[in-house]
Chains A and B, each alone.
Chain A
Amino acid sequence: MSAVLPRHRVNVLTGTKSARLIEDPAEYADLIKKAKRPLLVVGPLLLESTADGKLLLEYALDLAKAGGIPVCATAQTRGKIVELGVQPDCLYDAVEIVNALKDPDWQGVKKEGNHDLVMFCGIRSDLGNQGLSTLKHFARHLKTMTLCKHYFPHATYSLPNFKKDSEWYEFLESLIANLKKGD
């Protein structure tokens, strides 16, 4: 069990089962590559930009492209994604996609069966963590992974609390590069 404290302590102390902390992008990439039917859920925090003016959403879309992962757009992310010339693979809000995912018989975004790995990025940490808790308890048929810059205890796999945003961007860039590499 990890002793990592989440960035926002309102999410602290989940109980007995906390996320495995992974700091190595290659290890993250391997986990993603192993998944048969991954899904990436993007949230409105990705509508912010880095200091250099790069939209955070672009990291997520690059990652989806590199890994061939379908994208679920929540809240108002749809508009921006479409503006960037991409059609999201599905449109559900955060609680709706979690609600669908927890049904083992749901056929998933591509109608090929429910997803086995669901990645989340850009959902506020309190709501995100509650949704991950739902999946932890009621969707034991899948694993969850977070790509945000903070630790999410209810996920299966989580990134650490990055001290600097630049470290997080580096991680994401390296993860994307690893995914591009193929097997």
Chain B
Amino acid sequence: MAVAEKKLSRKLEEIHERIRAEIPWEPLGPTPMPDMPDLRSWDMRLLKTYKPFYAPFCDLCCLCTYGKCDLTGGKRGACGIDIATQQARIVLLACLMGCSAHAAHGAHILEHLIEKHGADKKIDLGGSIEIEAPHIRTVLGLKPETLGDLQIAIDYVFKEVSHLLDSCHTGQEGAALDYESKALHAGMLDHVGMEAADIAQIVGFGYPTSVADTPLVDMGWGAIDKSKPTILVSGHNPATSTELIDYLREHNLEDKVEVAGVCCTALETTRYSDKAKIVGPLSRQLFFMRAGIADVIMTDEQCIRTDTPQEATKVGAAVVACLDKAMYGLEDATDMDPDEIVRRMVDDGEHFAILDSSKAAEVAVKVAMELAPKRRKEWVTEEEAMELAEKCNNCGMCEQVCPNLCRIGAGITELAKGNFEPMRVLFNECIGCGKCEEECPRHVPIFRLMQVAAGNETWKARAGRGPIMDTEIRTVGAPITLGTIPGVVAIVGCSNFPDIEDVADMVDEFAKRKYIVVLSGCSAMVAGMKKDADGKTVYEKYPPDFEGGGVVNVGSCVANSHITGAAIKIANIFAALPLRGNYEVMADYVLNRVGAVGVAWGAMSQKAASIATGCNRLGIPVVLGPHSSKYRRLYLSRKEEDDWRVMDARKKEIVDTGEPSPEHLAYVCETKEKAMPMIAKLCIRKNDTPQGRAIKLNHYISLHKKYIGGGLPEDLHLFVRRDADIPLVYKKEVRAHLQEIGWQPKEPVGLPTYIGTYPSKVSVDAVIH
């Protein structure tokens, strides 16, 4: 016993030392730098209401040499694992990949920037941001002041990731719920890693901060001047693309060489230079490579095509692999003479890995300038396309392999007849994987045909602005928690959309209704890829402020941490609850009182899995698109059948509210039409005032009527507490409906919280501000 206590205190002592616990910027809460079990009881409370729902992708497990094991019909694997636990294990693995990708990205950026500026470089996010790192402050209990302090956060994440990964080994964890708790832990860590990475980038690269109206940047390949040498940057890590911009600036070449980006590196690069162009989301990567516009492709990390060198060779472009995560089997030319590399790339068509970013930048520019005049960059004409399409006999093979179930053969058949419209529609559904072209027995060049559908339209996207300002939080804190701003809708993540235009439609629908709409990653680009009748994108139509009716692009994937960070800031700045080492209180506040919902409509990657799971631990529900059923796990409640009891912290009484708010934590919608009212519904919180509730229900009802039809939402009665909650416009109809079904009014809860309804170190008083 004595030994155990001593060990514990030594561990705590170490934590206190790392986070400089003696500096009293806030009292230290119960869980600084939490280990796996420290927040387990919070997780179990969440999982009691939001039970994991598994959709196995495969009947088998093939992770060790005992297997493959058949897990159907209740059978267990040779190690004893059952199918539910195995799914949870795979979900945890996915979250760990995602979390590692962001944290390692952060580590690399920090190494790069510490080398450049030193570990003591101060963190300064501008005059409007004092709470610079809400996640690091909350989770670690550390107030980071320098780049070196961010390293402490990354080291903590790395350590926890190792323990979590260990738990995935054969013959370890044996309960699905415990794997879920670990996945939630990984998700939380992910937001810490992302935050460290993005703060480092903002500080080190001088990205915009403490500002809302960042520049509008050009988007679409039509925006790229094909007559100039063109360099495509692809991936997520801006260490190289910023060096590239620096090189062009230093050599007065910024107007002579085009820099275009796909995926998050595009967002990062436009935070650094508004002359850089955005090609589009990940789904346009292969398409753009095959179009042959880029003379040089610089890859960094995450979501880059793993066949980039092969694709580049096909069109005579050159590849520089800039990061150790993806070297494609290329020769490592980091220590080679740049002129020699340039010669071999230009004359011999070779590709190289160059892990020194300034050298990579120099080589890329020189190669692009030499290659560009030698290459033909011509867009296929409508006539050529019709001719090429004639090869197609509509056999349907392409359709069988399309992950988005596109009727591509039918589109090509129409195109051959001169009807381009179906192909234009398909281009918006296409996720750009190239499977169709690979499968076609007649070698129809489907991607070239798509060029005609793609057109040359250009759009605008607002450059990512980083964290939400403390000043903005002060203004919106009250209306969000009262419900008079009906919600914060964060549309985030990858481009595996059922239809690319869904995103702009969602942004428009919710911004119009005065929700706060926040965007990041590929979704932030795609939001700008549709124009209204006046030719305006949502970025031109709505203000860039974090306020009702604002449309805010925070930046790339790692900037997602600023969205969840804003939720923490509401609890900390507006509600004045201490956040330091106080994760449970923050998450409980967000879950019960902040009407925020994440929408990952095209989630594809493991990073999206960990980001979403991190949102969930923090009490933010996430709506996913239909593909996300392949993540294997959702967190669903069963409305009337589940436990909706909360503690009323003021009265210190447990109240059975019967109100499923928020109804689910991770939910898949099949269609945009279903997602619209669901998003509105998931913004409802028990804390809403009657006025706020009436506003939220107004939107829920009206979106339901607009997109689903057939009358009032079937579960409306569950969200009406008293007559005052009923929106004015629907008063008569709703009253009649409630009377018909025998609805009874109930008292709203003064201060709803989960604390006090499950075993926790935190006392109920901790949630009272």
Contact = CB atoms under 8 A, between A and B. Distances in A.
A105 B501 CA distance: 41
A9 B673 contact: no
B670 A74 contact: yes
Contacts, number: 121
A100 B57 CA distance: 20
B54 A83 contact: no
B668 interface: yes
A133 B55 contact: yes
A88 B709 CA distance: 12
A86 to B, nearest CB: 10
Contacts of B403: 10, 126
Contacts of B671: 44, 75-76
B667 interface: yes
B670 A94 contact: yes
A20 interface: no
B708 interface: yes
Interface centre among A13, A75, A76 (most CB of B within 10 A): A76
Nearest to B70: A16
Contacts of A88: 710
Given A125-B405, A137-B83, A76 B55 contact: no
Interface string A115-157: 0000000011111001101101110100000000000000000
A15 interface: yes
B711 interface: yes
Nearest to A75: B674
Contacts of B225: none
Interface string B605-638: 0000000000000000000001101101010101
A81 interface: yes
A9 to B, nearest CB: 5
Contact of B59 (A16, A95, A125, A127): A16
Interface in B657-713: 667-671, 673-674, 678, 707-711
Contact of A100 (B400, B638, B670, B708): B638
Interface string B198-234: 0000000000000000000000000000000000000
Contacts of B59: 14-17, 137
Interface in B468-520: none
A93 B58 contact: no
A91 B714 contact: yes
Nearest to B629: A130
A146 B400 CA distance: 18
A80 interface: yes
A7 interface: yes
Nearest to A10: B403
Given A82-B709, A126-B626, A131-B629, A9 B58 contact: no
Interface string A86-100: 001001011110111
A8 B403 CA distance: 8
Interface in A65-79: 73-76, 78-79
B333 interface: no
A167 B707 CA distance: 32
Contact of B636 (A43, A79, A99): A99
B402 interface: yes
A76 B708 contact: yes
A130 B630 contact: yes
B58 A130 contact: no
B626 A127 contact: yes
B401 to A, nearest CB: 5
B72 interface: yes
B174 interface: no
A56 B636 CA distance: 30
Given A95-B629, A130-B55, A133-B56, A76 B636 contact: no
Interface string B696-740: 000000000001111100100000000000000000000000000
A14 B71 CA distance: 11
Given A8-B405, A130-B55, A44 B638 contact: no
A147 to B, nearest CB: 17
A128 to B, nearest CB: 9
A78 B710 contact: yes
A83 B73 CA distance: 41
A14 B670 contact: no
Contacts of B644: none
B84 interface: yes
A76 B713 CA distance: 12
A91 B711 CA distance: 12
A124 B404 CA distance: 10
Contacts of B83: 137-138
A35 B58 CA distance: 28
Nearest to A103: B638
A140 B400 CA distance: 30
A9 B83 CA distance: 23
Contact of A137 (B54, B667, B709, B714): B54
B535 interface: no
Contacts of B72: 15-17, 136-137
Contact of A76 (B74, B84, B673): B673
Contacts of B60: 15-16
B709 A133 contact: no
A95 B57 contact: no
A75 B400 contact: no
B53 interface: yes
Contacts of B58: 13-15
A96 B635 CA distance: 11
B708 A79 contact: yes
Contacts of A9: 400-401
B674 A79 contact: no
Contacts of B74: 140
Contacts of A99: 53, 636, 638
Contacts of A43: 670
A100 B638 CA distance: 7
A80 B674 contact: no
Contacts of A94: 668, 670
Nearest to B708: A76
A79 B401 CA distance: 32
Interface in B41-75: 53-60, 70-74
A95 B668 contact: yes
A16 B61 CA distance: 11
Nearest to B668: A95
Nearest to A14: B59
Given A76-B709, A137-B83, A8 B668 contact: no
A95 B634 CA distance: 9
Given A15-B72, A43-B670, A95-B636, A131 B709 contact: no
Nearest to A135: B55
Contacts of A130: 55, 57, 629-630, 632
B130 to A, nearest CB: 41
B405 A82 contact: no
A8 B402 contact: yes
Nearest to A45: B670
Interface string B420-443: 000000000000000000000000
Contacts of A16: 59-60, 70, 72
Closest 3 CB pairs of A and B: A79-B709, A15-B59, A82-B710
Given A78-B710, A130-B55, 15 more contacts: A16-B70, A80-B709, A81-B710, A93-B674, A95-B668, A98-B53, A99-B53, A124-B626, A126-B403, A126-B626, A127-B629, A127-B670, A134-B55, A137-B59, A137-B72
Interface of B: 53-60, 70-74, 83-84, 399-403, 405, 626-627, 629-630, 632, 634, 636, 638, 667-671, 673-674, 678, 707-711, 714
22 contacts: A8-B400, A14-B58, A17-B72, A44-B674, A74-B670, A75-B669, A75-B671, A75-B673, A75-B708, A76-B671, A76-B673, A76-B674, A78-B708, A78-B709, A79-B708, A79-B709, A93-B670, A96-B636, A100-B638, A130-B629, A131-B55, A134-B53
